[in-house]
Structure 1
Amino acid sequence: MVLATLAVGYFILTPGDYAVLGRSAAYAAGGLSNFFFLRNTGYFNAAAETMPLLHTWSLGVEEQFYVIWPLLLVAALRVSARWPRLVPALMGALILASFAYAVQKVGTNPKSAFYQPWTRAWELALVFIPAAWTGAISARLGDLLKLAGLLAILAPILLLTAQSPFPGANALAPVLGTALLLLPTPAPTRMARVLALEPLPFVGRISYSLYLWHWPIIVLMRHYQNGARLDLAWGAAALVLSILAAWLSWRFVEQPFRHMRPAPRLSIGAGALTAGVVAAVGLGLFFSGGLPGRVSPQLQAMGSKDRMWGWACPQHVPEGPAKGLCAAGAPWASAGTRAIIWGDSHAEQLMPMLDVAGRQADTAIALFRACPAIIEAGGIRRDFAGIPTYNEDCRASRAAVLALLKAAPDISLVILAGAWPSTAQNLYRHPGEAVGFEAGRRLLLEGFDDLMPRLAAPGRRVLVMADIPHWASDPVPCVVANDGSLLRAPCTRTVNRLAPPDYDSWQRDVNDVFRSMRGRYGDATIAIPADALCGPQSCQSIVEGEFFYYDLDHVRRNLSPAATRALAERLGLADLLRGGEPRVAGPRADK
C-alpha cells in the first residue's frame, strides 16, 4: 500500500507534498507514524486531511502498544504467583492513569492527546478485558449487552462534531461499546446472528486491507481534483476502488502470508528488509525535496509550503528591550526610524516587503510575532478551536509587547497587522456569548478603541495595516493544475485575478470597519491593501509574472527580489513608513 501510494504520488503531488509523503512513509515503516503526524500537522503544515498516509498513525499506536503491553503482562504473571489480586489492580490503575492523562491532555493540547500512545493505551487495554472474562452470561443478558455496545458505538457518530474534544472522555462510549461487542457468551446472541449476515462478514474479512487502502485513495483523488471535496460520483468511485484494492490485498497478500509457516528468523528478516526498503525509498524522496525536476520552475517555487514561506531574516536587534527580535529594513543601529510590527503570521508575511521599503525609508522594523493586537484588549477574546490556552497565551504576549514599548521610547513607529477578517468572526467577551459577523465588527472596533491609547508616546506614530485581499478558498491548487506539470483535473477558476465570487465578501465588511477608523485615533494611519491592489471589479494576484499568494490569505515570502519590490511599491509601504498617505489603486487595477 505504501509503495503504491508513493508510485501514484509521483504523478499527482507537488514536490513539497511528495517529500512529506516520503518522510511519512519512512516513519510508517518504523511504526512511528503517530509521532510524525504529531510533529508535522498544524497551522503552517499541510492540512492533515491532505496527507495520504495519515491513517497509519493508529497503526503506529497499535504497534507501540503491542510492544509494551506484553512486557507488562509477563511482569504481571510473575507477580501474580505471589500476589494474585495485585495484578488486576495494577492493570486497572494503568488503564485509569492513561484515561485520566487523556482527559487532561485533550483540554490543554488536543493534538498531542490524539496522537500520543500514552493517551490511547487505555482504549486498547480496555478492549482486552473481554478476552480475560470467565464469568457466565445468559443469552438474554448477552443480547442486551451487545445491543448496548452497538448503540454506544453509533451514538458518537451522531452526537460528536469536528469540534468535539477527542479522545478523552468522548472516546469512552465507543471503546466500552467495542468491549461489550467482544464479550464472549456461551451461545450465539441475536446480535451475533445479525452481524453474520452478508455482506458484513465479507467487510469484516477485508476490513484491515480496506482500512489501509481507503484513505490514500480518497486523498490522492482529492489532490487530483485540486483539493475539492469528492462529490457523489467521485465518492462512489473511491468506495469501489477501495473495496477492490482491499479484496485483492486480502486474497493475494493477507491469505497467503497467513497460511505460510516460515521460520521465525525468516519472518523477522523479511519484515525488516521490507520495512527498510520502504524507509529508504521514503527518505530518498524526502531528502531529494520531492523530486522537483518533475515540475516547472514556477511550480518548484510554489511546490512546498515551507519553500513559499521561506525567508532568511536579514538582521536581529543587537541590544535594548527588543534585543534578539528579527528586524528588516535599514540597519537597526543607524536607522533614522525604529519601528516594531506586532501581529501574527499576517504580520510575518509583510517582512520581505518591509525589508525593501525600510531601506528606502531609512526605517528598521522589528517583528514581535504574537496574537492579533486586539485579543485581550478590553476583555475581548477569540474562540480559537484547537488551542485551549490561546487567550491566555495572547494575554501574556500582549503584556510583553506593551512592556517592551514602554521600555523603548526610541521605537517611534508601531505597525499593527493581523488576520483581521478571520479574527473578527470569532470574537467574544464572555464565555457562551454568540460569535459571528455582527458581534465581530463591533468588537473589532472596540478592541482598537481600547488598544490605541496604550500605544501612545511622545513622537510615536501608529500604522494599522488591514489584511491583503482574501480568496474564498485556496487558489494554489488551481495554479498547480494550470501549470500542467502534474496529472491534475482541469481547474475552471480564474486565478490570474481575484474577482467575485472568489473574493471573500466578509472581508469587504471588515475593511469598512477599518475605513471608519480614519480620524478616530488622531494621526494614526489606516492602510487597506485592497485599496491599493483592487479596482472596481477585481484584485491583483500576479506581480512581475509571479503568483504572489501562499494560500487563500497569505502572501508568499519567497517571491523574487523584483516581485517583492514591485508588490511593496504597489502597497506604498515606503511612503507609509515615512508617514505618507495610503496608496489607492486607479481604474487600471482591473487590467
Structure 2
Amino acid sequence: MRSHRHPAYRADIDGLRALAILAVVVFHAYPRSLPGGFVGVDVFFVISGYLIGGIIFKNLDAGCFSFADFYARRAKRIFPALIVVLLGCLGFGWFALLADEYRALGKHVAAGAGFVSNLALWRESGYFDTAADFKPLLHLWSLGIEEQFYLLYPLLMVLAWRLRTNPLVVLALLAGLSFGFNLFLAGSDTVAAFFLPVSRFWELLTGSALAYAHFQRATAKPSASLRHELQAVAGMLLIAAAILVLDKDKDFPGAWALLPTLGALLLIGAGPGSWINRHLLASRPMVFIGVISYPLYLWHWLLLSFGLILRSGEPLHHRAAFLVGAAFLLAWLTYRFVECPVRFGAPAFPRLKLASLWSLLACAGLLGFAVFRLDGLPERPALADVRLKIDRDLPRLAADGYRSNGIAKALFQGEFKPGDDFFQLGDLPKDQPLTAVIGDSHGNMLYQGLATAAARPETVLNLGRGSCLPFIGLDTIKKSGKSAGCQPFVGNAIDFIAQTPNIATVVVAAFYKQYLDGGVTLRGRQAGSTPSGSAPLTASTAELFRTGLSDTLERLVQADKTIVLSLDNPDMDRTVMTACYSLLRPLLPRSPDTGCQMPRARHERDQALVRSLIEDAAARFPHKVRVFDPAAVLCDARYCYAYHKDDLIYQFDGNHLTVKGAVLVAEQLSSRRQGAATFARAR
C-alpha cells in the first residue's frame, strides 16, 4: 500500500470541533439557552471538508492517492464508535422500549448502518418536530450526508486532477449549485432542504475549497498578522451570532447557514497562529473535547432522547446534566478503548480488521432491520408484565381507498396529495346510503373508528382535513401565522356532500376547543369568496364559530341530510398521559394509583362553551340534527378514562384517540339507541 500523507496536525481545529460539539450538546440538553446550537453540525461539515480535502489533495499531488486506502481509513475512523452505539441502543431498547418505539428504532438503526438516516428522516418529519425528540438516532442524519458526500467527492477530485482542471473552479461551481438548491428548497420545503444531501454539500465543498487554497499557497502555517487576527475574531462572532440568534423557527438552512459556515471558514483560514486559535481553540480542555467529539456526538443525543422517552416527554431538567456527563464518560471510554485500538493500534492483519468492521456494521444493520420487520418484537419478555398495552394501528383505511378520479380532483383542486389526510373517495357504492365524515384531525380519527366498525368500510367516506374546522366560510390560521388552507377545501366538501344523493348522513367532529381558546385562530370569510380576495371579518371567535356552524347546518339540511354533531372526546393533559405511559414502561415503577384518568367535571368545564354553541345550533333543526357525546362511552359519573380494559386508547398528545378508542366511540355513535337512525350500516 502506498504511503498515505496527512496535512500537518492543527490543534486549533480540534478546538473548533469542541466548540461545535458543545453548541450541539447544550442545544439538545437545554434548547432555550442556546437556541441556535444546532449549527454546530454545519461547523462540522466545514471542518470535515477541509481536513478530508487536504488529505486528498496532498496524496493526489504526491501520486499516492488510493480509493481503497481512502475508504479503509474512513471505515476505521467512523465504524468503531458507530457500531458500539448502534448495538448499545438496540440492547437498551430491548428492555426499555414499547413495541412501536422499538420498531422505529430498528428502522433507524438499519438506516444508520447504511448511512441513509437523512433520507429516512426526510420521509418522516422535520428535525425540529416534537416527534423528533423520541428518535434516539435522529442525529445520524449528518453522518449520512457526510458519507454520501465522500462517495462522490474523491472520484470528482481524481477526475479533475487527471484532466488538469483547476479543482478550485470545480469546487466553486458545485458549491454554487448546491447552495442555490438549498435556497430554493428552504423557501418551499425546509425539511427537504435540511436533510437532502444536495442542499448540504456546499458546506463540505467550501471547506474543501479552502483546503485546496491552503495546499496551493501553503498558507496554513502559523501567522499572527493583523489580518489573521481580525479574521479569527470575525469568524468567532459569526458562529456566536448563529448560535445565539438562530432558532428552530427560521427557515434553516437557507441563507442563514452562511453564518456558521463562513464563521468556520474564517477561523480555519486564520491559521493556528492567531490569538483566538492559539490560546482558546488550541487550549488543552478544548483539544480534549475535540478529540472525543465524534463519540460524544453519537452518545449525547442517544442518552437525552432515551431520557425523554422514559419520561414520556416531560422535561429532563437536572437529569439532562447527568445524562450529558454520562455521554462525556462514554465518549472517552469509546475513544480510549474502541477507536484508538482500531485506528492507531498495531497494523497486523489490516484486511481482517477491515472485514471485521464491515461485518459488525452489517450485523448491526441487519439486527435493526429484523427488529423493524418483526414489529418491534411485541412478545419480548421485557413487555410481559406491563399493565397496559397500546394500540398503534396506523390509520390506513382512507388512504388505501383513494382513487385519483374526477371527483377527487374537483374537490381538492390539485392542492391535496393522497395520504396527507385520511379519506376514502373512489368508487362509491350505489346499493345503500353512505355516511360522510367532515372535520379536522379529530374527524379523521373518528372516521377510522366508523370505517373499522362498519361491515362495509366503503360506505363511510372522510372529507376532512387536519386543522380545518369544517364550517362554511371559515379559515384557520396556525401559530406560525400561515393559513391552514381550509378554504375552498371545506366549501367544496360541503357542496360535494349536498350534491351527492346517496350520502344520507353527515358526521361532524373536530377538536373544537382549539378554535375557541386561541390555539388555532379563526378567520371569517364571506361565503363564496376566495382566499386571495377576501378580508377578515370583525367578530368574536365564538360568534364566528356560531355563524359558521349555523350556515353549514342550513346548507346540509336543505340538501335533506341527517347530521350528527359529535362533541369532542375528553382532552387529557400531559400529567394524565405521563401517568398512563408509566403503566407501559417495562423499566419504570408502576403505582397502583396511576392517575390515568381525569375528573369528568373538568371535562364538562372544558366543553361548556362548545356544548352550548353546538346544542343551540342543533335546536334549530330538531328533526335533522342530533348531538352525540363521546363521554357516554369514555367516562363514568366521576372520571373520564384514557384506557379501556387492558388497552391505552389515547395517543400520547392526550386528545387523539387510537384506532381502538375511535372504534369504541364509533360503535356507540352508530347505534340506533343514540338516535342516528339513518346511519349507514350494512344489513
1:367 aligned partner = 462
Q: Equivalences for 1:164-563 in 2 at 5 Å?
A: 164-185=250-271, 187-232=273-318, 234-260=319-345, 261=347, 265-266=351-352, 268-294=354-380, 302-303=389-390, 305=392, 307=393, 309=395, 332-335=429-432, 337-351=433-447, 353-355=449-451, 364-374=459-469, 377-378=472-473, 380-383=475-478, 391-392=484-485, 394-395=486-487, 397-398=489-490, 400-423=492-515, 425-429=519-523, 441=542, 443-448=544-549, 451-473=552-574, 475=576, 478-483=579-584, 486-490=586-590, 494-499=594-599, 509-511=609-611, 513-515=613-615, 517-519=617-619, 524-530=625-631, 533-534=634-635, 538-544=639-645, 546-551=647-652, 552-558=654-660
1:584 aligned partner = none
DSSP 3-state at the match of 2:563: strand
Deviations 1:329-367 (A, max 9, x none): xx95443x432112343223223543587679x994322
Instruction: Single out whichever of 374-383 and 63-72 deviates more from structure 2.
Output: 374-383
Gaps of 5+ in 1: 581-591
* Shift in CA distance, 262/20, structure 1 to aligned 2, threshold 3 Å: farther
Give the share of equivalent positions with the same residue, in percent.
26
Letter of the 1:258 partner, please give it.
Answer: R
2:205 aligned partner = 125
Q: TM-score, normalised by structure 1?
A: 0.80
| Cα separation, 2, equivalents of 1:37 and 1:64 | 15
Letter of the 1:121 partner, please give it.
Answer: F
Contact 1:147 1:191 in 2 (8 A): no
Structure 1 position 284, deviation (Å): 1.9
* Shift in CA distance, 154/352, structure 1 to aligned 2, threshold 3 Å: same
Letter of the 1:72 partner, please give it.
Answer: L
Structure 1 position 25, deviation (Å): 0.8
| Cα separation, 1, equivalents of 2:366 and 2:602 | 42
* Shift in CA distance, 193/339, structure 1 to aligned 2, threshold 3 Å: same
2:668 aligned partner = 569
Residue 254 of structure 2 corresponds to residue 161 of structure 1: no
Structure 1 position 125, deviation (Å): 1.6
* Shift in CA distance, 241/366, structure 1 to aligned 2, threshold 3 Å: same
DSSP 3-state at the match of 1:292: coil
Deviations 1:436-464 (A, max 9, x none): xx975455445435544554533123333
| Cα separation, 1, equivalents of 2:101 and 2:601 | 28
Letter of the 1:569 partner, please give it.
Answer: Q
Deviations 1:206-251 (A, max 9, x none): 111100111111122222333322121x112102110100000111
Letter of the 1:568 partner, please give it.
Answer: E
Structure 1 position 499, deviation (Å): 2.9
DSSP 3-state at the match of 1:348: helix
| Cα separation, 1, equivalents of 2:455 and 2:365 | 47
Contact 2:136 2:305 in 1 (8 A): yes
DSSP 3-state at the match of 1:215: helix
2:73 aligned partner = none
DSSP 3-state at the match of 1:148: helix
Contact 1:217 1:238 in 2 (8 A): yes
| Cα separation, 2, equivalents of 1:538 and 1:340 | 31
Structure 1 position 158, deviation (Å): 2.1
| Cα separation, 2, equivalents of 1:521 and 1:56 | 57
* Shift in CA distance, 115/327, structure 1 to aligned 2, threshold 3 Å: closer
Contact 1:426 1:440 in 2 (8 A): no
* Shift in CA distance, 569/123, structure 1 to aligned 2, threshold 3 Å: same
Structure 1 position 34, deviation (Å): 1.0
| Cα separation, 2, equivalents of 1:168 and 1:153 | 16
Structure 1 position 175, deviation (Å): 1.5
DSSP 3-state at the match of 2:435: strand
* Shift in CA distance, 357/480, structure 1 to aligned 2, threshold 3 Å: closer
Q: TM-score, normalised by structure 2?
A: 0.70
Letter of the 2:320 partner, please give it.
Answer: G
2:146 aligned partner = 62
Deviations 1:184-206 (A, max 9, x none): 43734334312233422221111
* Shift in CA distance, 520/91, structure 1 to aligned 2, threshold 3 Å: farther
Structure 1 position 529, deviation (Å): 3.2
DSSP 3-state at the match of 2:463: strand
Contact 2:449 2:666 in 1 (8 A): yes
2:196 aligned partner = 116
| Cα separation, 1, equivalents of 2:273 and 2:197 | 36
DSSP 3-state at the match of 1:558: helix
Contact 1:142 1:189 in 2 (8 A): no
* Shift in CA distance, 512/69, structure 1 to aligned 2, threshold 3 Å: farther
Deviations 1:281-308 (A, max 9, x none): 1122222222212255796984563x37
DSSP 3-state at the match of 1:118: helix
Structure 1 position 129, deviation (Å): 3.1
